[in-house]
Amino acid sequence: AVSQPTTNGTLSLKKIPIHLQSSQNRVLIKNGKIVNDDAIFKADIYVEDGIIKDVGPHLIVPGGVKTIDANGFFVLPGGIDTHTHMNATFMNAKTADDFYSGTRAALAGGTTTIMDFVLTEKGQSLIESFKKYRSQSDGLACCDYTFRVVIPEFIKGKTDSEMDTLVREHGINSFKLFMAYKDVLMLRDDDLINVLIKCRQLGALPVVHAENGDIIDYNIRKLKNMGITGPEGHLQSRPEEVEAEAVTRITTMANQVNCPVYIVHVNSKSAADAIVEARKRGCLVYGEPIAAGIGSDGTHYFNKCWQHAAGHVMSPPLRPDRSTSEHLINMLASGQLQTIGSDHCVFKTADKARGMKDFSMIPNGVNGVEERLMILWEKAVRPGKLDPRQFVAITSTNAAKIFNLYPRKGRLAKGSDADLVIWGPKPHVIRAENHNSNGDFNIFEGTQVSFGPLVVISNGRVVFDENGLHVVQGSGRFLPCAPNSSFLWHSIRDRERTLPIRIDRDGKDEQQQQQPNQQQ
């Protein structure tokens, strides 16, 4: 049976328009090397009405079915990009990609689900912001998507109640917290703790931007006083330990309130190591590096060309230490980091130019929704650091499990959504002039990749093949995500039963003493 996440409240799941299903609602993919996170095997996949109906050798199917020969190629679950920002206004600039151009780019790269963010400002209603984002994504998105709602402040009785409603009625099972962007989005420790407590209560996962905003603010002022105004100042205001400190702090707070935590855009060796250290302390923590951190580096901030350097400005910054990429890949391979996102948050060069005289005004963000799979394959699978099963785990399965979409997404099996990618040799050089994003710069410019998506199927429809994209605007669905994913919350609920020790010193009721680990 298909696992269809539901929430306690009512949800209006958008129906796929009928015309999408009529012409090519039945597809047979023959003889591919099916890759799941736990196995590779040769089989056919039969798809009907957006769902995988069968997986097995030599399937017998009805006549008139569109057949694709995948002999010699891999067939992967469609990628899940755990981190995108489409149609966002951030640092006074509007992203170049909306949900139409952004999801087209995603599909062209083999990603069939994006996890985006509802950005809110202090004083705004979280629910109103969510509805606004829905109105700008429904009807435009060409692939399925989910939202995480940003919590920019914690007002007792208001924020917690809105979080409640979002989880119970609107299919939200994750909230984003910022420890950076002082005075705008940054939460102080007591607010972080309040949000973590509420998340634990709801079974919703906090996803955290971990950088120390106060120190960054101090460093920015210091560097500007020294006359440093260019993008190199962005890097120097946010050293690795500023990222690692925040990882240590948030994992400590999360562990103390017994809440799992997910660190977005892990962009340094120090931050990745801080995650490992947190896990050694017993924290339930997940880590997401991004394509840019695997396929680019922070030496570009010193480039003489301002546009080139500013094009790489994102937070946390890419690191000039060129061994960072390999370190992050090794940690993905060993299971210390679990997913990969793109943090696709693209600003045109003209918008980046807001920070021409002041690096702290350069809108933060880079591309990657289209390149994510190809970059990881090139940098990690080709050199033998990851095998194809691990690649699938990192690019889709783990995300589906963590965000409670498994096995509807992230797996090629009977009953799962028919989101899949035929993957094989496709040597080309990444260039901004050929990419599908509306952005005019590509941080992977000039990178040679050898493999890529040959055919992409989203909700049972061929949306990308050798003739290019065949998307239908608005065919992507908002995916409501239920809270309490058992992959995270089972152990948390068990931990909740461990009570603190109380020593009874009046000698009367020793039998009633509760000792840890003796509860049922």
- # residues contacting ligand URP (CB under 6 A): 10
Largest CA distance in the chain: 82
Binds 305: which of ligand URP, Zn ion, none (CB < 5-8 Å by kind) = Zn ion
Phi, psi of 128 (to 5 degrees): -65, -40
- Type of residue numbered 330: N
Give the per-residue contact string, 340-379, with ligand URP (x = CB under 6 A; - = no). Answer: ---x-x------------------xx--------------
* Residue 182 near Zn ion by CB under 5 A: no
* Residue 312 near ligand URP by CB under 6 A: no
**Min dist. Cβ of residue 316 to ligand URP (A):** 8
**Min dist. Cβ of residue 365 to ligand URP (A):** 4
* Residue 263 near ligand URP by CB under 6 A: no
Strand-pairing partners, residue 435, are none
Binds 364: which of ligand URP, Zn ion, none (CB < 5-8 Å by kind) = ligand URP
Phi, psi of 122 (to 5 degrees): -55, 140
- Decide whether 238 or 411 has the Cβ nearer to ligand URP: 238
Q: Which stretches within 123-212 are classed as H helix? A: 126-137, 159-169, 189-202
* Residue 235 near ligand URP by CB under 6 A: no
The encoded tokens of residue 75 equal 């067939």
Q: What is the 3-state secondary structure (H, E, C) of 220-281?
A: HHHHHHCCCCCHHHHHHCCCHHHHHHHHHHHHHHHHHCCCCEEECCCCCHHHHHHHHHHHHC
* Residue 267 near ligand URP by CB under 6 A: no
Strand-pairing partners, residue 468, are 465
- Residue from 105, 172, 314, 454 touching ligand URP (CB under 6 A): that is 314
**Min dist. Cβ of residue 179 to Zn ion (A):** 9
The encoded tokens of residue 161 equal 């109640």
Residues 6 or more apart whose Cβ sits within 8 Å of residue 107? 142, 143, 456, 458, 463, 464, 469, 471
**Min dist. Cβ of residue 180 to ligand URP (A):** 7
- Decide whether 186 or 488 has the Cβ nearer to ligand URP: 186
**Min dist. Cβ of residue 264 to Zn ion (A):** 6
The helix/strand/coil state of 180 is coil
In 3D, which of 343, 371, 341 has the Cα closest to residue 453?
371
The encoded tokens of residue 111 equal 């990603």
The per-residue b/e assignment along 229-244, b for 16 or more CB within 10 angstroms, e otherwise, is bbbbbbbbbbbbebbb
Binds 308: which of ligand URP, Zn ion, none (CB < 5-8 Å by kind) = Zn ion
- Residue from 97, 144, 211, 343 touching Zn ion (CB under 5 A): that is 343
Phi, psi of 366 (to 5 degrees): -135, 175
* Residue 240 near ligand URP by CB under 6 A: no
- Residue from 30, 66, 168, 308 touching Zn ion (CB under 5 A): that is 308
Kindly state the DSSP code that residue 341 receives in the 8-state scheme: B
**Min dist. Cβ of residue 120 to ligand URP (A):** 13
Residues of span 195-224 touching Zn ion by CB under 5 A = 209
**How many C-beta atoms lie closer than 10 Å to residue 271's C-beta?**
27
**How many C-beta atoms lie closer than 10 Å to residue 260's C-beta?**
25
* Residue 81 near Zn ion by CB under 5 A: no
The helix/strand/coil state of 81 is strand
- Residue from 103, 120, 137, 315 touching ligand URP (CB under 6 A): that is 315
The encoded tokens of residue 21 equal 């299903």
* Residue 243 near ligand URP by CB under 6 A: no
- Decide whether 240 or 343 has the Cβ nearer to Zn ion: 343
Contact range with Zn ion by CB under 5 A, out of 35-43, 150-158, 239-247, 302-310: 302-310
Contact range with Zn ion by CB under 5 A, out of 298-306, 320-328, 416-424, 448-456: 298-306
- Type of residue numbered 207: V
The helix/strand/coil state of 275 is helix
Binds 477: which of Zn ion, ligand URP, none (CB < 5-8 Å by kind) = none
* Residue 443 near ligand URP by CB under 6 A: no
Dist CA 288 CA 269 (whole Å): 13
- Residue from 85, 372, 379, 409 touching ligand URP (CB under 6 A): that is 85
> Which residue has the CB atom at the shortest distance from ligand URP?
364
Dist CA 460 CA 14 (whole Å): 16
- Residues lying near Zn ion in the complex (CB under 5 A) are found at 209, 305, 308, 343
Binding residues (CB under 6 A) for ligand URP: these are 85, 90, 209, 265, 314-315, 343, 345, 364-365
